[in-house]
Structure 1
Amino acid sequence: MGLLEQCEQLFSTSSLYEVLGVEKGASDAEVRRGYYKLSLQVHPDRAPGDQQATTKFQVLGKVYAVLSDKEQRAVYDEQGIVDEESDSVDPDRDWEEHWRRLFPKITLQDIMDFEKQYKDSDEELQDLKRLYLLHEGDMDRIMDSALCCEHDDEPRVREILQRAVEAEDVPAFKAFTHENVKKKANRKRKAKKEQQEAEEMRKEMGLDAEDSLVAMIQQRQKSKEKGFNSLIADLEAKYCKKPSAGKKGAKK
């Protein structure tokens, strides 16, 4: 399966830009930030044993590899195709090693600090509106994708989106304005089950939630996309390092 097909299957869009949540004319820095934000959500360290998360992580790496390469990005922009034979999208590439070269290891305190800055910020508002449009008001998918959101955040997220609808910043999708009560209840049950499973896994692994980043992520219902998007804007040199120049595969 090609990269564009994988994107459609895993992220409900074949647009590489939409996958990373950036505009077509986004700068290199904006593309890196988009990649960083989304890859944090599905990083193997944060979803141990989750094969779909691992696959998403690999696909995000490929998307970034294409958009961060001037020549490949130009071809994609002009023709809408990806060179599947390029080394940069090699399925056997070590995407974890690639990610580590780009971004240093983060700490629990880093994540907590980011969350405080992100929640109720203009950046969160723009991200939520983007997700609302992408998923046409489907709260199941919005809450699954929203950054720094747990089930307890749903009333706050819904209020933010409701204000956006009333202000006509986004259309009034029926899936949002007339959501089925049963669907809301199912979402609540799912969140409770995930919380219980995460706590059981934490205990089985003998992890201390105070000392382990993995345990914290598990205990908090697989918190979405914890990262430094706001901090990266100020610490670009540190958190958005470009990989050292390497040999590119010959295009055929």
Structure 2
Amino acid sequence: MKMENDGRCSEKTLYEVLGVGETATQQEIKKAYHKLALRLHPDKNKDDEEAKEKFQQLQKVISILGDEEKRAVYDQTGSVDDADLSGDVVDNLRDFFKAMYKKVTEEDIEEFEANYRGSESEKKDLIELYTKFKGKMSRLFCSMLCSNPKLDSHRFKDMIDEAIAAGEVKATKAYKKWAKEISEIKPPTSPRKTRRKAKRSAETDLYALISQRRDARKEKFDTMFSSLVSRYGGNADSEPNEEEFEAAKRKLESQRSSSSSKKKKPRRNLALVASVFYQVICLTDLEADYLNPFETSSRINRLILPEFILQGSLCLLFLITWHWVFFLVALPVTCYHAMLYKERRHLIDVTEVFRGISFEKKLRFTKLGFYIFLFIMVVFRPRLLDFVSSLDDSVVKSASEKAFKSLPDISKAVNELTVLKGVGPATASAVLAAYAPDIAPFMSDEAMEVALGNSKDYSLKRYLLFVTKLQKKSKELKLEGEWGGASDVERALWSCHVRSKSKPAEKSSSEKKRKRKE
């Protein structure tokens, strides 16, 4: 490639040097440049004296065509001079193009579409693309202007059928299959109206979803906050004295204990009584075996079936009354005893004492230890559960008040609430969001996934990062005059996530089959 002093190419255009067309994309230009650079590099052409000059000219070509602004100036002027490419033309490129071209608005696009649809130009383009893609309509719709498979399929089918009848084109196998599928689908009543309706619904659906979710969350948080205020707050004028407070506390404790005893104690007490009764029988049976196996053998053998039924019933009772630990512990023993009963042997066969005395002792001691362990667990486990599950109202009130006073320090407020049993950062965020929605957003899975990319980490560090991001966005919205607040941003993120999951991209079965074949 040679260039004259005036900066114009004497032999080839810059596009011809790279071997690409004037409509080539940046990716195609860079690809062609890399191929020429590898071929013309001076290190690979040591015998060519002009290799260095050619490579420098290639660098100038890519510096012009690789830059969108310089390329636009070159396309308009044809000049490759650096002064023309870096002067006022580039600085005022936006004004330059605004003066040359009219600004395209949405109304212009709609006007062009209205004039283009049904015109001879559309029919001509349709026939050309049909011939180019050999009747593959999925590829045709990708290249056809102002087309939509859901709205224009029946109209295009009629136009192509007319062209086939006139002998302008031939019906291909792919087109026949597509035409058969389209014939089975009901045509749209008004394509333009459907298009405008779809456009309006796309704009309003998200806003309606955000507003609906916002109102629901606001109502939920207001209810939760009102309950907290009514429980731990109250008016200063009507503050109860110490005696009234203690009386109310005793009343609440008595109501809670009576309600819990009505719900849980009957079934659990039934299981406790049955298990204790069963342990006494088993321990007595073992003691009798050790004291006098000869005299008690006939009595014990008569208890084979009753003892087996009793143990199986107890195992089932553990399952019904939610004693899962006892059920899982007793189940293997019950299965083992069922196997012995099937062989018509006693659970501890006293007739075989003298055949293997050491084995029998080990078996009896194991059984004795198992029943003692089960007895201790049944008696003391409910008391441990009641101790762990108990949470004093005064502790909850104190922790909540400290957390609310710590705001806007989110970290300190969360730490004050997490001292309560069963309360983590996620639960604490819900309480803080109800009290101060502008400061502390709720730690919802959907919003966490959108903002941070992970919704399964409920640590305090992750929540603080989440709060920082949402508070920053809230400040930006307030500066722009939009609605703001960390909880508002969280609700918007939640709504967008739900919308993206609830409306996946819809594709017809015919398009899916066609894509698999292609």
Q: Provide the TM-score with structure 1 as the length reference.
A: 0.37
Which of 1 and 2 has higher RCO (CA within 8 Å, sep 6+)? 1
The structure in which a higher percent of residues are helix is 2
Greater C-alpha radius of gyration? 2
